[in-house]
Structure 1
């Protein structure tokens, strides 16, 4: 990556447009950004970072105030950076979001952030030639080209103030966080978690398998009724259980076979006794049946006589039914004659010829009226048409009046519609102003509601800062007290090492006339070191608390400045009013299309109403003419129809009456004929009934009808007689059978003794059968459980071995167990990266320290068994001993930090596989160096630019400016300080 030019406008302290030509500055490989404190040196680095990633490093990026406060309202804040990366020359332009004064009205509005990427030498094949304008697409493309995240860029390209000095003195945990963020070793942490999760899963599986083995052992013990003794071999115990169950099953089966044979013999004897008892019972029952039938012989004869008389009466009953039907038909015919005569208002005995003659006359008269029915129908149609024409004339007259009224009110309606259209247009214009003011007031209201929380946080941060100051002061007082006490007891500490005749390490004398005496409560070196460590930690906490308080104070001031004299209540009320006004304006503006359409329709309706009035008047005249013609025709037709309908409402009614009268006369004639026929048939059926009774052998018809029986009674008699005959035949057949021959009905069988013996034998056999079944089931259950238990043992062994191996491996990967150095896999990888960084940084540190200092990486475990692997000490060549980095002086710490930063930049760039970093910035820190050391640092930087890099230095040190020959003056910052760029 090589920078070509940088342009800033209204950014940071730069209120006007400024341009930095990096091609010119970097021609010699080294340039200096020099100026007083606050002149804007670091702002140029922030501009480069903002152009690339849209953010600035450190706490400045958290504040998010990048716009120059003194810039003109119309001046747009933007940063333009042109650079070459991976052979592609591109131009980046970014603008942050900020508050600007409204162009119309009072207050502020938010200027949204923007970003664009333009390809200077032509776009790559996979990119659009017109470039990119979306912020997210620009960010992803820049990160892909550079091959590093924003955090990595700030660490390896812009070496920030104090960051690497902090890294140099930090403990293992803090150093691990930074290295993991730079080298992206999260995947190794995922590997560690994978092993832990895998161990946990396999542990659950092993636990489930172990539990299954225990459950199977418990079930075998439950089925067998015995448990293994403590410490005994469970497999041998299982074999003994299986053998014992087999023996018990065989013994139970043998006993069951013996008792089953005894039961069969007893049941055979019982069966013989039961057969004999059954035969005796059958003989006794047959004799009893024949005796009972003999006693009921008279009743059986009566049943036979009743059934015979009922069968002879069947023909008589049929003739009686026919006579009864004939009588019913005659009565019905007589009733119909009476009803028909009443309908005709005539006598029932009127001659038939007279009835038929009257019917013919009525039908002839009805035929003469048929020709008038079409005229009556047409008359009704014309009357309805007259009503319709009258209604149409009335409706058209009403429509004419309405149209004339609309013509009179049309000018006023057009004027009102034009006013409504103007009102909607004005609301549309006013809406933009109200919405902009609403956005502004909403932002101020959020600020007002955020201010109380910020003030509370400021009070809490101030209290924490004061507590940190007090704690640091106490730790420093304790350290000074311990140092003073240790100095006071130093003589006694040296005297404790003296031996008679041995030279004194201080004066060299072999005589020790008055050794120092120990003081009360002596202080050890370890006590002083612990106090010093505690004092340094308290100082760090004090600095952090002070920074937090400063940030909280700045946040409160920013909110108060943004809020001004506004209050939350006033802003809330104003916002509610603006929302109500906005809703009303939106509603009015939304009606503009509808109102415009209504106005156009009203303007077009003038001619249309005139045409409609003319059409309506023409239609009224035509309808009135047609109505008069139809009225004349209806009056002429009514005279003819009046004679035809006589006293009836209509011609159809009179004709219907004549036809009904003719039909009633014809019906009376037909009823008279039917009645005469029915009387003849009744006489014939009465004669046939008398003859049938005599033929059947009855004295008269009444006697034959008395012998009638229902089908149900005849069926009962037949079934009862059949049952008696069947019982008698069955009893006689049973007594005559060979099976019952010679059986004495009075014989005693002795069935109870045989039954009792069979029951005893059966119960004994059933008990032994149950015992044998339980023994067989127990043996089968034990065999199945034993097979499952052996299979579970076979699976559990390898699972236990695998889990033990996985558990040991997970412990090693996570820095426990057999891992002697207590290093996790992630720490091991980071340690390897840190070792590479130490080797790369040592080359520069030895050069800048005149060969005195070297970095030494340590992978030893930490104190009290804590994890190690990320130790970083300094080897002092003067003493030949390792020194903690915390013991370096200020200038030495800067040299070590700069060397470490340059080494880390090389390793991270190689690790990420990103673009070649041809440009490097170093921000401050040179003020702690003396002239000779500064020469060594400059020589190291010369080595960097000799390798093709461009190094930009940021410093206010005067001697640095004197070492840079050419000066380029950029501008005056807002406080009057001068920023110079020298090369």
Structure 2
């Protein structure tokens, strides 16, 4: 990157826009930025760094505090850099975020925030906008970030001498930041973390294996001896587990055989007990069967009576049809008698109803006509009331219209009078104007007379034509409204007269209806007043219905009488047949018949009960004979001794099975524990092997090695050697070959280790000495050489990037004349290949040695740049 121009506006000490043209300064390759202290020399560095990366060159300056206190309210604050890189031109514009006054209102100052802005114009004319976007694009173009640019191209005030006298730890921190060697420290930390993790995993496997050992329970004495105390021998424990599993399996097999033997004896004993129990149950069933048979024999007489009862019920069922016919006919005759009684009662009840509503029916037509007239009169009265209300509204409307007309008439008269008076004043004024032309001895311009006995005078208040026109328009507008109001009043009067005529006609119609009501018979009118129209209609319809119902009921009475006579005859004939059936069935009378009657379902159940009794008695008799035959020669056996022997065998069997189960569980536990220990031991050995490798690498990287050297320090020492070698190329020239920088390889206590501490070889004495013993000028030379050497190494490590501009801020004040010549000579050696070097200093000797200069003039109104 090579700057072409830099423009700073409203920035720091610069009140308005100031531009540095670097093309005028690059002819000699080296130029000086000089001026009074506080004039703004370092601000030039800040402007370049801010334009490129949005940050300042130094550590104590902040980008949001650069707004110039000298700037006017409307002066913006920005930095604009035009630069060249790889033969192509770029323009960068940036302004920071700052507070500025805005337009004042009511004499009070108000502040507003100017937002941060950044625009990068590329060689093809396209633009990149946004602070972070522009910064990323600049890093992509220059292949340097802000940190690298500061170290390589922008050696800021107070920072380039830090490295010379910094402690080894501070140098480590600085180099780590510059060369990003924290990667190696992180790598060593990762190795340490992996080693610790693997160690934890190994110990975790040991803990888990110890837990498996403790969880295995056994009474084996050898196992107890092996597990006493800590530090188990897993090989011996696994060997013993295999032996225990084998022993438990053999014990399990022996217990199984013993259980099979006991089980066989149990099967045989249970067979004997089953046979004895079977004989005992057979004798018990025989006794039970005999007892059931005896109980059935006791019911023989009862069953005989039930058979007789069933026989009578079956005879009763045979004549049931005759009984049901007589019963049905008698019920029908009784029903007809009840119907006759009901009809007679209804006829008597309806006669009373006919008497109560006869008057309604006979006068219904005249009553309904009277109700119609009454309704018409009520409706007519409602129309009359509405007409009167409408008449009142129209009268009030007419009064309002008349009042408006009279008021408007007065207003029109006043405006007419005002117009007439104005016209009269105007005419008199015209005469007065003519009178002004009259002169004594000269003819009158109006009449031609030479004598003028009385000359007219003009009034002071004379209207002009415009006033007359306004008065005329006002009068015509008022007159037009008066005509309109006259028409509205006339229409209101006509509407009122039409409503009065309609009200008169309504009154006559109401009078006629009232006359009709007065002519109606008084008795009917009173009757109508006591009842409603709906009641009259309802009672008239009821009367007509009752008349029809009476006719129907009398016809029903005649029919019922004929039907009853026929049924009574049929009933007498059926009863004769029923009496004959009773005698034939052997029943003494109807009461005996009813006692014998059973429903079909009851007869079926009784028949089944009798059949079951007979079958059960026969079955039990046969079963007793069969069981007695089977039990001949057999006796009952006491099963108590057999049961005791069975219980003893069962207990022996349970103990054997429990022993076999315990042996099986113990064998399985031993096998499972052996399997777990073996698997975990295999995994643990794999991790122990990995841990051994990682632990060795960790020891090497963390300094636990022969040279006590950590990995990052080893890498940094290589960079440091390169920097010192590059720095010595300049330092020899600036000190006439007297001094050479080198790294301290041995600490004061004699322990061998790599160190980043610097010592200087003084070839005048042939001895090494501390850099802290150098004078101020010598320290500056060493520091500048170290900074330039570090810049070379950083460029090489950054992919061969070549920096075309190098800026150095201050530090030359401590040099004598010879040293200044040597330093300038060394810096001029860097100008090769079109490199630009800028130095910020107020040292007068440099002003004499460096012809290309930028002078910054400090004033009480703000600084200015001269080049």
Question: Do the two structures share a fold, i.e. TM-score over 0.5?
Answer: yes
Tell me which residue corresponds to 1:767.
655
Q: 1:682 to 1:140 in 2, by over 3 A?
A: farther
Displacement of 1:4? 0.6
Q: Is residue 2:85 matched to residue 1:85?
A: yes
Tell me which residue corresponds to 2:168.
172
Q: Is residue 2:284 matched to residue 1:281?
A: yes
For the Cα contact (< 8 Å) 1:242–1:783, is it kept in 2? yes
Displacement of 1:923? 0.5
- How far apart in 1 are the matches of 2:754 and 2:331? 127
The one-character-per-residue Cα deviations of 1:74-128 (angstroms, maximum 9, x if unpaired) are 32222222112353422324244134364324134034134232526423xxxxx
For the Cα contact (< 8 Å) 1:168–1:885, is it kept in 2? yes
The one-character-per-residue Cα deviations of 1:747-805 (angstroms, maximum 9, x if unpaired) are 43222222222232233223222322332343344334433432332222212222333
The one-character-per-residue Cα deviations of 1:410-446 (angstroms, maximum 9, x if unpaired) are xxxxxxxxxxxxxxxxxxxxxxxxxxxxxxxxxxxxx
For 1:320-399, what aligned pairs fall within 5 Å after superposition?
A: 322=328, 326=332, 333=339, 337=343, 341=347, 344-345=350-351
- How far apart in 2 are the matches of 1:193 and 1:829? 15
Larger mean CA deviation between 657-666 and 780-789 belongs to 657-666
Displacement of 1:164? 3.2
Displacement of 1:284? 1.8
Tell me which residue corresponds to 1:733.
622
Report SS of the residue matched to 1:270.
helix
- How far apart in 2 are the matches of 1:800 and 1:673? 128
Displacement of 1:691? 5.4
The one-character-per-residue Cα deviations of 1:786-844 (angstroms, maximum 9, x if unpaired) are 3343233222221222233334434544x1544843414x4444444334333332322
- How far apart in 2 are the matches of 1:335 and 1:909? 138
Q: 1:43 to 1:660 in 2, by over 3 A?
A: farther
For the Cα contact (< 8 Å) 2:49–2:55, is it kept in 1? yes
Report SS of the residue matched to 2:39.
coil
- How far apart in 2 are the matches of 1:670 and 1:827? 139
- How far apart in 2 are the matches of 1:60 and 1:872? 28
For 1:662-681, what aligned pairs fall within 5 Å after superposition?
A: 668=553
For 1:134-149, what aligned pairs fall within 5 Å after superposition?
A: 134-149=130-145
Q: 1:299 to 1:851 in 2, by over 3 A?
A: farther
Tell me which residue corresponds to 2:418.
none
Report SS of the residue matched to 1:281.
helix
Displacement of 1:670? 8.6
Q: 1:785 to 1:715 in 2, by over 3 A?
A: farther
For 1:333-482, what aligned pairs fall within 5 Å after superposition?
A: 333=339, 337=343, 341=347, 344-345=350-351
Displacement of 1:319? 5.9
- The count of corresponding residues between Structure 1 and Structure 2 is 734
Q: 1:98 to 1:714 in 2, by over 3 A?
A: same
Tell me which residue corresponds to 1:238.
241
Q: 1:121 to 1:736 in 2, by over 3 A?
A: same
Unpaired stretches in structure 1, ≥5 consecutive residues? 124-128, 349-357, 409-609
Q: 1:746 to 1:164 in 2, by over 3 A?
A: same
Q: 159, 169, 182: which one pairs with 2:155?
A: 159
- How far apart in 1 are the matches of 2:600 and 2:548? 48
Q: Is residue 2:829 matched to residue 1:823?
A: no
Displacement of 1:945? 0.9
Q: 280, 293, 298: which one pairs with 1:295?
A: 298
For the Cα contact (< 8 Å) 1:876–1:883, is it kept in 2? yes
Report SS of the residue matched to 1:945.
coil
For the Cα contact (< 8 Å) 1:90–1:119, is it kept in 2? yes
Displacement of 1:250? 1.8
Tell me which residue corresponds to 1:889.
775
Displacement of 1:29? 0.8
The one-character-per-residue Cα deviations of 1:465-503 (angstroms, maximum 9, x if unpaired) are xxxxxxxxxxxxxxxxxxxxxxxxxxxxxxxxxxxxxxx
Report SS of the residue matched to 1:951.
strand
Report SS of the residue matched to 1:27.
coil
Tell me which residue corresponds to 1:47.
47
For the Cα contact (< 8 Å) 1:35–1:977, is it kept in 2? no
Q: 1:102 to 1:810 in 2, by over 3 A?
A: farther
Tell me which residue corresponds to 2:115.
113
- How far apart in 1 are the matches of 2:748 and 2:624? 118
Q: 257, 260, 264: which one pairs with 1:261?
A: 264
Larger mean CA deviation between 106-115 and 709-718 belongs to 709-718
Q: 1:752 to 1:4 in 2, by over 3 A?
A: same
Displacement of 1:944? 1.0
Q: 1:831 to 1:966 in 2, by over 3 A?
A: closer
For the Cα contact (< 8 Å) 1:894–1:925, is it kept in 2? yes
For 1:902-917, what aligned pairs fall within 5 Å after superposition?
A: 902-913=788-799, 916-917=802-803
- How far apart in 2 are the matches of 1:177 and 1:749? 107
Displacement of 1:870? 4.1
Report SS of the residue matched to 1:242.
helix
The one-character-per-residue Cα deviations of 1:685-741 (angstroms, maximum 9, x if unpaired) are 79758856845543333333344568997787567656544543342232233x651
The one-character-per-residue Cα deviations of 1:153-195 (angstroms, maximum 9, x if unpaired) are 3332221222232233223333333323333345445544544
- How far apart in 1 are the matches of 2:550 and 2:10? 123
Tell me which residue corresponds to 1:540.
none
Larger mean CA deviation between 255-264 and 955-964 belongs to 255-264
For the Cα contact (< 8 Å) 1:31–1:952, is it kept in 2? yes
Displacement of 1:866? 12
For 1:347-746, what aligned pairs fall within 5 Å after superposition?
A: 649=533, 657=542, 661=546, 668=553, 694-695=581-582, 697-707=586-596, 721=610, 724-737=613-626, 740-743=628-631
For the Cα contact (< 8 Å) 1:40–1:979, is it kept in 2? no
Displacement of 1:661? 4.8
For the Cα contact (< 8 Å) 1:333–1:678, is it kept in 2? no
The one-character-per-residue Cα deviations of 1:660-681 (angstroms, maximum 9, x if unpaired) are 5577558757975896698579
Q: 1:206 to 1:662 in 2, by over 3 A?
A: farther
Q: Is residue 2:744 matched to residue 1:855?
A: no
Q: 813, 837, 857: which one pairs with 1:927?
A: 813
- How far apart in 2 are the matches of 1:342 and 1:180? 132
- How far apart in 2 are the matches of 1:822 and 1:685? 142
The one-character-per-residue Cα deviations of 1:606-631 (angstroms, maximum 9, x if unpaired) are xxxx9xxx9xx99xx9xx99x99x99
Report SS of the residue matched to 2:533.
coil
For 1:833-872, what aligned pairs fall within 5 Å after superposition?
A: 833-857=719-743, 870-872=756-758
For 1:753-792, what aligned pairs fall within 5 Å after superposition?
A: 753-792=641-680
Report SS of the residue matched to 1:117.
strand
- How far apart in 2 are the matches of 1:218 and 1:158? 70
Tell me which residue corresponds to 1:796.
684
Larger mean CA deviation between 159-168 and 680-689 belongs to 680-689
Tell me which residue corresponds to 1:938.
824
For 1:96-135, what aligned pairs fall within 5 Å after superposition?
A: 96-100=97-101, 102-104=103-105, 105-119=107-121, 121-123=123-125, 129=126, 131-135=127-131
RMSD: 5.2
Report SS of the residue matched to 1:851.
coil
- How far apart in 2 are the matches of 1:178 and 1:276? 111
Q: TM-score, normalised by structure 2?
A: 0.71
Q: Is residue 2:226 matched to residue 1:229?
A: yes
- How far apart in 1 are the matches of 2:665 and 2:345? 96
- How far apart in 1 are the matches of 2:189 and 2:215? 38
Displacement of 1:143? 3.3
- How far apart in 2 are the matches of 1:29 and 1:89? 21
Q: TM-score, normalised by structure 1?
A: 0.63
